[in-house]
Amino acid sequence: MFRILIAELKQETATFNPAPTTYGDFQIHAGDEILRAYSETRTELAGAFDVFQKTRTDEIQIVPTIAAAAVSGGRILDAALDRLLTSILDQARRNSDVDGAYLCLHGALAGVSEVDPEGHLLTKLREILGDKPIIASIDLHAILTDRMIEAADILVPYHTYPHVDHFQTGRRAARLLIRLLRREIKPTTARIPLPMLVRGDELITATGRFGEAIGMCQVIEESAAGLAAGVIIGNPFTDVPDLQSNVIVTTDNDPELAREKAEEIGRFMWDNRELFQAQLTSIDEAIQIAESTDGLTLFSDAADATASGASGDSNAILKALLGREFSKTALLSIAPAVKTAFNAGPGTRITVPLEGTRDPDRFTPVDVAVKVERLFDGPFEYEDGSEGRPGRVAVLVAENIHILATENPVFVVGQNVFKAHGLHPEEFGVVVVKSPNGFRPWYEPIAANIVPVDAPGSTSANLKSLPFKNCVRPIFPLDENVVSPFVARDSDSSQGA
Ligand SMILES: [Zn+2]
């Protein structure tokens, strides 16, 4: 009988968002409650449980400990991070007689002081479990560190963007863990760091060039000696010292093959680096495009994407629309300007400062004369069935602009966030979503035009607009003439020839 310790710790930290993440932002499950909460989902943990349950019943017993996950946000406060790490490690100490561990991680956590929480967690877990197998699954937006690679036997990354393979990733990780427990394999990992940050549509694995690199990883995983492979591009909004892109390939006791394959994929990524940048349109130009478009123009404001960890209270596009002649109607959202509207009541006309207050270095409030059209209080349902928690909501109208003001930041990706509050996106000339790509299934059917807008914000795809202080330098595209990571290797081989 193999007893397997299970833990989850996930958040994608956006360090350019000044609002910190607190302990209360994490949804936490403990012990058997984890099984109940996750079994019916499409998550990594569910995928792993599926494999464990289908393995001979007398062979595997799982020991669920703590599962903690939060939506994206600013750096995690030290006390909060400490409490999370300590609770997982305490459980591991109490169960140190397990035979192995599966950790479900994101990989891009950042505390105020600890910039590599996953490396810390894996290293401490290694100290507790000795040489017993440890496998971790990670997001391909993870910040890969030496500590993570050294402490884990195998890291198993996602293979899709937008991410739709959580369940499969958990299955891949669980299968490898069972092979390790049975002593069938001896993993060896090669890593090729790439001094590049990437963004843009070519990263969509189903349609973009990045999908070819992932395809190469999958061929390796399907080969006899291949165990795990991935391109860990890092979350560009987690500005910590190890932020860059990486290729990792793990083989069964064949370090040369791992090296060779990792280098092949690394070269492919490096050679295509110019392609992996976002093509953005200025706000003014975007408004002109909307003006001359028949039907709905969708503005993608990825810079204020709450799903990526931004504050959700950007008023940049609102200001631009108010400041010029615009003959059509517009629909946008903003957090958290609702208090005055609630005091005034529906039907009243008021002048309110519209945010941002959460990210005051980037946005200053603008006074807008509005009519309070409708007020709401309470949750609504997103397209995937999960609950949106906007707190109090006010629908405000400033001439031709409808503004959805929410007390708390919400995901503005699908249509339900608007429809739940009586606003129908197809009736507008412009709709602003706060999302880089996830909006597409909901808006492609109704939009005549989709424009990725170059607005300011803590999660801007215009990477040069962000105040990077900590990441690997020099790095593409922030710096000029970044030296190819393959230059030394190439000149070595030419000297030898
Ligand atoms: Zn991700």
Residue at which a domain ends, from 275, 301, 324: 275
Please indicate, yes or no, whether residues 199 and 259 belong to a single structural domain of this protein: yes
Indicate whether 489 pLDDT > 70.
Answer: no
Q: What is the rounded average pLDDT of the residues 355-371? A: 85
Is 349 among the domain residues? yes
| pLDDT classification of 336: cutoffs 50, 70, 90 | low
Quick one: the chain helix, strand, coil %, rounded to 5?
30, 25, 45
Phi, psi (deg, nearest 5) at residue 96: -70, -5
Is 474 among the domain residues? no
Percent of all residues in the chain with a pLDDT value above 90, rounded to a whole number: 82
Indicate whether 105 pLDDT > 80.
Answer: yes
Please indicate, yes or no, whether residues 208 and 336 belong to a single structural domain of this protein: no
Structure token digits, residue 11:
């958040």
Please indicate, yes or no, whether residues 181 and 46 belong to a single structural domain of this protein: yes
Is 488 among the domain residues? no
Query: How many angstroms does the Cα of residue 469 sit away from the middle of ligand 1?
Result: 22
| pLDDT classification of 408: cutoffs 50, 70, 90 | confident
Please indicate, yes or no, whether residues 252 and 303 belong to a single structural domain of this protein: no
Residue at which a domain ends, from 275, 294, 322: 275
What residue has token string 């339900």?
Answer: 416
Q: Is 353 helix (H, G, I), strand (E, B) or coil?
A: strand
The answer to whether 310 and 458 are in contact (CB under 8 A) is: yes
Q: Which pLDDT tens digit goes with each residue over 267-285?
A: 999 999 999 999 999 999 9
Residue at which a domain ends, from 220, 243, 275: 275
Please indicate, yes or no, whether residues 140 and 226 belong to a single structural domain of this protein: yes
Q: Which pLDDT tens digit goes with each residue over 222-251?
A: 999 999 999 999 999 999 999 999 999 999
The answer to whether 401 and 330 are in contact (CB under 8 A) is: yes
The total of structural domains in the chain comes to 2
Is 479 among the domain residues? no
What is the per-residue pLDDT for 362? 87
Indicate whether 143 pLDDT > 90.
Answer: yes
Query: How many angstroms does the Cα of residue 495 sit away from the middle of ligand 1?
Result: 41
What is the per-residue pLDDT for 79? 98
The DSSP letter of residue 458 is T
Q: Which residue has the higher pLDDT, 306 or 85?
A: 85
Indicate whether 478 pLDDT > 80.
Answer: yes
Query: How many angstroms does the Cα of residue 376 sit away from the middle of ligand 1?
Result: 32
Q: What's the CA gap between 16 and 74, in Å, rounded? A: 7
| pLDDT classification of 431: cutoffs 50, 70, 90 | very high
Q: Which domain holds residue 14?
A: 2-275
Is 467 among the domain residues? no
Please indicate, yes or no, whether residues 307 and 224 belong to a single structural domain of this protein: no
What residue has token string 């197809």?
Answer: 426
What is the per-residue pLDDT for 467? 95
- The amino acid at residue 387 is E
Query: How many angstroms does the Cα of residue 11 sit away from the middle of ligand 1?
Result: 10
Query: How many angstroms does the Cα of residue 488 sit away from the middle of ligand 1?
Result: 31
Q: What is the CATH number of the domain that holds 193?
A: 3.40.50.2300
Angle 78-84-90 from CA coordinates, rounded to 5°: 125
Query: How many angstroms does the Cα of residue 10 sit away from the middle of ligand 1?
Result: 11
How does the average pLDDT of the chain come out, rounded?
94
Q: Which pLDDT tens digit goes with each residue over 125-139?
A: 999 999 999 999 999
What is the per-residue pLDDT for 497? 38
Is 466 among the domain residues? no
What pTM, to 2 d.p., does this model score? 0.89
Query: How many angstroms does the Cα of residue 422 sit away from the middle of ligand 1?
Result: 31
Please indicate, yes or no, whether residues 28 and 123 belong to a single structural domain of this protein: yes
Is 95 among the domain residues? yes
Q: What's the CA gap between 169 and 138, in Å, rounded? A: 9
Q: What is the rounded average pLDDT of the residues 437-450? A: 93
Structure token digits, residue 466:
């962000």
Q: What's the CA gap between 192 and 244, in Å, rounded? A: 11
Q: Which of 134-138, 159-163, 352-356, 376-380 has the lowest mean pLDDT?
A: 352-356
Tell me the Cα Rg of the chain: 24
Indicate whether 106 pLDDT > 90.
Answer: yes
Q: What's the CA gap between 230 and 272, in Å, rounded? A: 16
Please indicate, yes or no, whether residues 381 and 318 belong to a single structural domain of this protein: yes
Is 74 among the domain residues? yes
What is the per-residue pLDDT for 495? 46
Q: Is 104 helix (H, G, I), strand (E, B) or coil?
A: strand
Query: How many angstroms does the Cα of residue 198 sit away from the middle of ligand 1?
Result: 13
Query: How many angstroms does the Cα of residue 140 sit away from the middle of ligand 1?
Result: 6
What is the per-residue pLDDT for 156? 98
Q: What is the rounded average pLDDT of the residues 440-458? A: 95
Query: How many angstroms does the Cα of residue 237 sit away from the middle of ligand 1?
Result: 11
Q: Is 288 helix (H, G, I), strand (E, B) or coil?
A: helix
Query: How many angstroms does the Cα of residue 125 sit away from the middle of ligand 1?
Result: 24
Q: Which of 69-78, 165-174, 303-312 has the lowest mean pLDDT?
A: 303-312
For residue 406, what is the enclosing H or E element? strand 401-406
Query: How many angstroms does the Cα of residue 163 sit away from the middle of ligand 1?
Result: 7
Please indicate, yes or no, whether residues 400 and 426 belong to a single structural domain of this protein: yes
Q: What's the CA gap between 169 and 174, in Å, rounded? A: 9
Please indicate, yes or no, whether residues 312 and 245 belong to a single structural domain of this protein: no
Q: Which pLDDT tens digit goes with each residue over 174-201?
A: 999 999 999 999 999 999 999 999 999 8
Please indicate, yes or no, whether residues 261 and 337 belong to a single structural domain of this protein: no
Please indicate, yes or no, whether residues 205 and 308 belong to a single structural domain of this protein: no
